[in-house]
Structure 1
């Protein structure tokens, strides 16, 4: 009791309180000094580390090591979140491979298969290194139909060639396929020339000669019924003489779409003759339009008078000339004109593709040629011409020198009776413009009145009205 009282008295002593306050102040000052010392030391450490980092990063001796370290850090960072992460669980790494081919195992001599896709997708699962190795392997998907009979079947797809240390998942897992028994049909062999654009156009291909003309085809009855023809595909790339080759045979349906069938054998030996038929024919200028300002063409001189054309014999037999068109309405003075040669249908190429014409002009003159006989064409009836008209006047226009060369015998005026019916009718009179002529012809009288008789006439040749 006495001690407690003494303590209380002591606590209430002002000197004691002052002493306690001094102790607390000294302790606080000591803490502040300690913290300041620690802070100063920490800053010195940070400044030293920063200076060291600067010396390493920007020192040429350490640049290779720094680059390598950064590359490794970047690689680890990128691959940390990938499916093949070197830090991830090796059992969950996966990679998808698209469009892996499917191989069917079945008796192809007996059955035809349908419904099987050509490819499927797979997913490779396993350790990263194993998955990467499997991706580069030439694996395949297998549809095993061995032992199955004709009809529809559900087949599980499996894989081969990816190794045993990974798991392979196939999408789709199962497929529905149909097996149909094959039968044999016989077809004639046709042909198609391929790559004709790679052959010089001056050459012509003859009729191929095959080692045999028919071929056997094995397929289901449905497929055989869809086949319209079998063609040998004959490659004519760069051919310039007779040649032989083994041509591939392909089956087609009526729309020209290839049909999947077994052609036995699938090639045929063929011989093809190659020729270069040609013919040299004159070049004729065909003028259209009229020369302005009352002028006419006096003469046309060409740098080539003829051209050699290349085509089949049947085409060449029908061609006696080739034309070049000249628009007279564009001529205002003597001119040199470059124009392309117009090749007839069926002509593949020519020795000359264009010609240069030296065109001379002169003053145009008009002249009338009287009493030109009228001819009729394509008639199967007898007829009479009203007023017994058998002749007509023809007006010609050209330079004086050119029209002086024309007489009535050079002009053909006619009317076409191909659409005639019995009774009175009017037919249009036409005048034949000679090819290459520099003189223009026109008929003064545009029509002719004719009475067509009902009696048939066996005479269908072109004759003058005066001889009817």
Structure 2
């Protein structure tokens, strides 16, 4: 036995027998189906076929100087070969379909589509396999960008878009001369639905011919930045300065000017409709001993978006305070109607003397007719009342009154008429009694 095992040929024969036994054991488990008569005992390689759709086509040409049209973007490819290879290629699609036009000049040409990087043992057929292409010289030209708005009617009430700002405003378009000559415009579109403030966004550009067809050209840049200013409803109103404190004794304001005198308020229409003025900044009179210039922020009214301008310049000029007497200024009544009577009890004349205080320029030409002295009796019932005096007059003028209120008597005309009628009847009765019988 040892002699047998030491023989190299005997060992090789035994190893070969074991290899056959192992092969039979494996394949008998995987393919127990008995072989047909005449069929080879050893398995043969199988083939397969598959059609792949939408395979991209690459174009090779002098793209710096020429433009090519007519090459299909995709084709269908049928592959045949060993089953394993077909299965792998179906999954990875690691081949390339291409059109080679590097040696062609301008004009129309028939070009055969080819395949490369094809796996060994695999055959490929391309559909379509031939295409007609047009090669033209490349042309570049600049065009302005236009902006189209849509849903403009769906902006918030009262808001309107202004002229859009495009950056850059001109773009370069590259293509064949024939296509470049067909360009009508280059547009970006902006959606304005629900907009109530300025819009800033980037937009893609589209190139159109005069019939509205999209043209296949290169645009540089293909995306631009667009700013659309949006204006809201607005209203111009004056500025009302709020004053606090009192000027030092002996000093009066000769002029108080604001620049500008009115501002534009932007905001919803219902807010603007109720707005008569803007409450401006507050100035402290107690600190103004000399002429003063200052700048202050203008407050934005409640509910409004903004004011323009945002600041106001205030110039205050002061002067020595002087006095002027105004005699017999009539007291007017506010809140009376035709069914009531009013009688002044104090002063009985319904007039008062006033003292105006201000700079010489402010009071020099002041007349009683420039002053409105009044009492408000709208909420008073019949009877006697002490009513507060109110004064309206030129700005920068102070007033000194001999009394702060007046006494009045209010009565209804109906009761007055009844009293008058009663007095007349009593007088007639007395006259009758005095006649002789």
TM-score by length of 1: 0.37
Query: Of Structure 1 and Structure 2, which has the larger fraction of its residues in helix?
Result: 1
Query: Of Structure 1 and Structure 2, which has the larger fraction of its residues in strand?
Result: 2
